[in-house]
Structure 1
Amino acid sequence: MLIDNRSREALLAEIDALRLRLEESEQILQGYERVYRILVETMNEGAAILTMDGVILYCNNRLATLLQVALDQLIGSSLGAYVTPPDYPLITSLLENHTQGCDNQELSLISGVGKSIPVLFSCCSIGFSGNQRISVIITNNTEYKQTEMELFASEKGFRLLAEGIPQIVWVTRADGWNCYFNQQWVEYTGLTLEESYGHGWNKPFHPDDQQRAWDAWQNAVINNDSYSLECRLRRADGIYRWWLIRGVPVLNNAGNIQNWFGTCTDIDNIKQAETLIQIAAEAERERAATALRESESLYRAIGESIDYGVWVCDSEGSNIYASSSFLNLVGLTQDQCSNFGWNNVLHPDDAESTLLAWQECIRTGSVCDMEHRFRGADGQWHPILTRGVPVRDKNGNIKYWAGINLDITQQKKTEALLRESDRRKDEFLAMLGHELRNPLSPISNVAQILSSFPLQESTLNWATETLNRNVTHITKLVDDLLDVSRITRGLVKIQRERVELVKLLKDLTESILPLIQTKHQTLSLELPSQPIYLLGDPIRLTQVFANLLNNAVKYTDAGGCIDLRVGVECSSIFVHVRDNGMGIEPQLLPHIFDLFIQGRIELDRSEGGLGLGLTLAKKLIELHGGQITAHSQGVNQGSQFLIQLPGLVDKTILAKPLIPQSPTKETDQSLRILLIDDNEDVVESTALWFEMSGHQIAIARNGTQGVSTAQTFKPDVILLDIGLPDIDGYQVVRKLRDLPTTRRVLIIALSGYMLNKTLLEEVTDFDYYLLKPPNFDQLRNLLAEYKRSNLRTGDLYT
């Protein structure tokens, strides 16, 4: 048939294309041949390829080491030369029946120095018809059994090891009854240990493997022989994977089987690799090349699925692969990365040190371990932890570098937050020490003056005012600390009632007006003429607005202006507190409501404070269903705080305060008051106040004495400490409520402990729960209300 020139040229072009694809396939095959050779050289077992008559064509270094014979001396020799005479017929039979293969057959070899070596011998046939070879795997059985015995010698060590390794570990009794599986078995199969013990281990086997597995195990038990089997086990999600199951008998000192010890190793990937190798060996080159390309895609997909960046470099340090996770992070293509483009996205301060360190790793072959910053596609600098190791050939030469790039941005942020938290904690502790020493100093001074000199009335009045002022200051510091603790744990319960906000703010501003006048500041009020009602806790709301106004005074210079404005819009109440003081720094503004945060404070800290006020204000406003925000244009630009609260349309009083908030007119009738407290200073000073107020006082120093005194003294009111030396106040109050003389008296708990969820369950027998130090105005109101209430009922003394 004649072929014209055009057809001939097309045919020649197609032949050239086929030749190129064939050469590419050969190169790929050669590459994978090198990979498989590396795998064989790194095996713990001896491996060899034999001719059909037993001559060694190839073997790895592990086999040469095992036989103590030089590698070049082994190659070309007959394997039979290294088999003991009793086992020579056995190995001859195994090699002749190579088509059937064998797995872990026990026999003995002779080393180059004449020493007998017990081994496990496995073989199978490989290659095409007419060009067949025998593949041999030889395992040192002495090392294997010795290792297993040493592991089993210590049950504790065995269990720690068994639970720590990725393999499934199992133990049976001498009769084959399973008595132990590690947690890996439970997690993989989904079976409980109770379902697996005994012979229940056979349940997850593939139906096609169950009988074969059972027969192999029974044969091992009957013959006291090692057990080895490859089979498929069902995973908890129903997927079957291939596993290598091995078991060996553990002998006692008498030589009898004590237990069986075994492992299950996941060989599914190996089985898949073996399948790929068999396909590559039996198919034509083009099909083998296709299968290898698919395998390469699979491994690449595995690399791409990992969260952190995977990379590979050649022996000279040039990148040949980087996973998409890293390329997407830094916005590079593979070509750019391969041409040292990754250097262009390094932080300028890290570029030189990174290159020098990498070049040193290339030169010395040391492990690469460095931390540096890369510019991400988002424009941000990302701290990256880079780690890599050299991959060497059998001669120790570096062929590749493989490693990871891990984005540790979140870890760095967490570390920075922890450092900032520690810094703020240290500053707060120093601030707290300073704030406590300031009021303690005048208290200590006044106490020494009172004890050392006779004082005139004017000096005594000064001392009293000084003590009251500084005790009040310390009490507020402690209250703020306890309030923060209770609020952050969700223990604060606001006492809701109808509150007229305009009146509350007017009363508050009148109380702080002397402070404003002292600093020659101006307070501007813009309050509605009509009442504004909301449902809230008046004490807590006063605390919030007092904190804001005190801050405005504190951070505004003399002659400054402070504005307080209130408005109503869409059933919401808005309160503005604004000043023209020192303002808030931009970097501080987002954290202004965090714990222990304060603006610039001079070294003398003449204004004081712990940085808790705004935190408390925010939490308390949120408990009222509102919100608070802060605004400032910057330093020396003033500050503004905006509070939004839900208004109250219904003006009906919904709840009565737990404790009267305004003084009640006292009657002239005195009360019999019993103080039960073991603190000498507290009880004496409290008793003195009650006596000077015209009441009759009795004192008890512990709980037992208090119960006894109550029966004889017959008090109207009892102040009871919680922490007493013999029995606590909760037990005392229960005893008092059981007595006829004190069943209905007013009992007030006086304690240094804040109420929490546990204490709330204990205070049901008390009428009130007050914190130390007692507020005498509050006590006076309680007693007046108690007397007024009982006078109405005629039941003061019961």
Structure 2
Amino acid sequence: MNQGSNNLMVIDDVIPEGSLKESKTLEELRQRERELADFIENASLGLHWVGADGTILWANQAELDLLGYTREEYVGRNITEFHADREVIDDILQRLTNKETLHDYEARLKCKDGSVRHVLINSNVMWEEDKFVHTRCFTRDVTERRRAEVELLKSRSQLEELLAREQVARAEAERRRDFTRLVLEDAPIAIGVMEGPDHRFLLVNRQTCELTGFSEEQFVGRTHAEVVPEADKVVGPILDRVYTTGLSETQEIDVDLPKGRRQLLVTWTALPGTDGRLGSVLYLSLDITDRKLAEEAVRESERQLRTLADAVPQLVWMADADGYIFWYNERWYDYTGTTPEQMEGWGWQSVHDPELLPRVVKRWKASLETGEPFEMEFPLKGVDGVFRWFLTRVNPLRDSQGHIVRWFGTNTDVDEQRRTAEELREANRLKDEFLATVSHELRTPLTAILGWAHLLRAGQVDEKNVVGALETIERNARAQSQLIDDLLDVSRIITGKLRLDVRQIDPGSFIESAIEALRPAAEAKDVRIQKVMDTGVVSVAGDPARLQQVVWNLLSNAIKFTPKGGRVQVRLERINSHIEIAVSDTGAGIKPEFLPHVFERFRQADQKTTREHGGLGLGLAIVRHLVELHGGTVQADSPGEGQGATFVVNLPIVPVYQKDNLAERVHPAARDILTSYDCPERLDGLKVLVVDDEVDTREVFRVSIAHCGAEVVTAGSAQEALEAIEKEQPNLLISDIGMPGEDGYELIRKVRALPSGRGGKIPAIALTAYARTEDRLRALRAGYQMHISKPVELAELVAVMASLIQRSDKIE
């Protein structure tokens, strides 16, 4: 359809058909239509008609020019596409549908070039028989007017901001003047201004008058030399320099004033005049006479305090008000092995445990901020590298005005008290667990024993059930016996009194003995025991009874937790320099979260009162200790509950080389160990101190080490060892750990506390049956350089001794 027909369509819509009939002639009407269409098309206002569904039916050229679209790009599309704000056009259409007429409705239209125009819309709807035909919308562009309004608002806002700033600046100037007057009059220090070059007073504050005893009138207009002639002898040259150079000066001065001799801390500052040249000098003067007297009193008190502090057993130190430690007593340096230069200021952090140090620093800084006394327990590292726990207390020292001038601190050694308290707590906890479990496990078999005994005595058991009753009593009595044996073994392990009768033995023999002892129990549950034995396994060094106990405990556990008809396998094989004994079952299995605790005393996977299996939870703990005493390891593995479990014991193989002539010279109990011995190194000229509470063990090491050329001294206790170190001055110390009275850890701590000239730095080896990783770390932390687990090949021991002596010689 062409342009003209579009316009005619519009006119047809505008003029009802009845009006055409009333026109004089059709030609006249057509002419009027053309004129009206031309007027609308070329009107300066944008016009467009929109249908009921929002479609644009027609638009004049002004509308198209306003938005930058061609007629084809505009007409036929939905009006919502050209409105920048959807909620606005929705509101417009809703209003028109409700037969409202819009007057200057503000909207934003999107142009083809991406810009947005602000317009005012006037519109109504043409209806025919209450049917929406189309809208008639007039669009007036007010973008430039809106821009001008925004600029006007912006200018107004800027003007208001400038006025507000001016008011703030005026108020700030007033505040500063008030503040200056307040500072000058109420300042706690003497303030004044003197005009040069003769330093004539221009103004002074109240504190200046109080300091000198003069009134303000006696100052103003007079020179410094006229008012305070005696003080001018000291101050006059300073005023001249400041006035001449313009450089500020601060000094402590002693001056004679009308109120007496005073010590002052004074700052003089040159002030420029109105012409920019130096015109006057400002002074700020603080009377520090009382503070100086107080500081001298504190210094005298500190001298007396230091003398006293050097005589007490605690570590003592002092810090200034900011926490800067400036003095320690001699005991501090003796314990830490540090120097004053290393400890200066905050250098004390180097002797603290790095893990606890942040908490210590935080607490110390909190005391510095609040002025509250400090109290805390934490470990400090000694000269031997070992940490000991100290109770630290720090109190503030205040002057007459209540200001903190010093901090006085003490560190009291509480290591033994903490260890004792911890041991008591642990002992109480274990005691409670122990008593509860023992009570249950002992009472359970007693119930059966007493019950059947009562029935038998009362004659209430018929003859055919007597044998079963007696078997029940015997079985429960044996269960009690086993519980008691386990308790005794654990007691020996805890107290370090469990001893091994070490000899060369065939592993197959103690494994067979354990299997045969438990075969009846397995057959009673219809559990099959399968043996897989490596015939090439050689002898091991160990206590046959204890190793049989290890296998018995593992096998007993496997049978107990394997259901009827299950299988238990015992496997023995040699792997390199170890033998491996594995006990596997098809039983209940072990939860993954319980595996790390399976060898701990009194720990059981099921600790409920409804548990299916009894026991004290000691069997596997005894296994672990016995295996470690033999220098071996034990591990547990299980895929999970209901999937069985495997326990693997590894024991070292000790090769045997016959040395009959040497073995005949030593105690019989040590002969099996010595027969495997060759000298890898000569130890001529070396004096060795061997410490062990077992006579046989001491004799073995005495003979074997002497065989390599060393002179050997022995001691049976820690006290004897300390006396031997003082008397014999050995070159090397070899000590057991588990000894009655004082153990090997306490011995080495006391040795390391000795001066180096009296044996404090002697190389030391811990030779012990405690072979766990934590045992080794504890020995090294205590002060030993090496940790060797029993049993040990003496050739290996001699090689370690030689290596340690060579290393010590290089360090020295």
Instruction: Indicate the TM-score class for this superposition, using the shorter chain for normalisation.
Output: 0.3 to 0.5
Q: Rg: which structure is higher?
A: 2
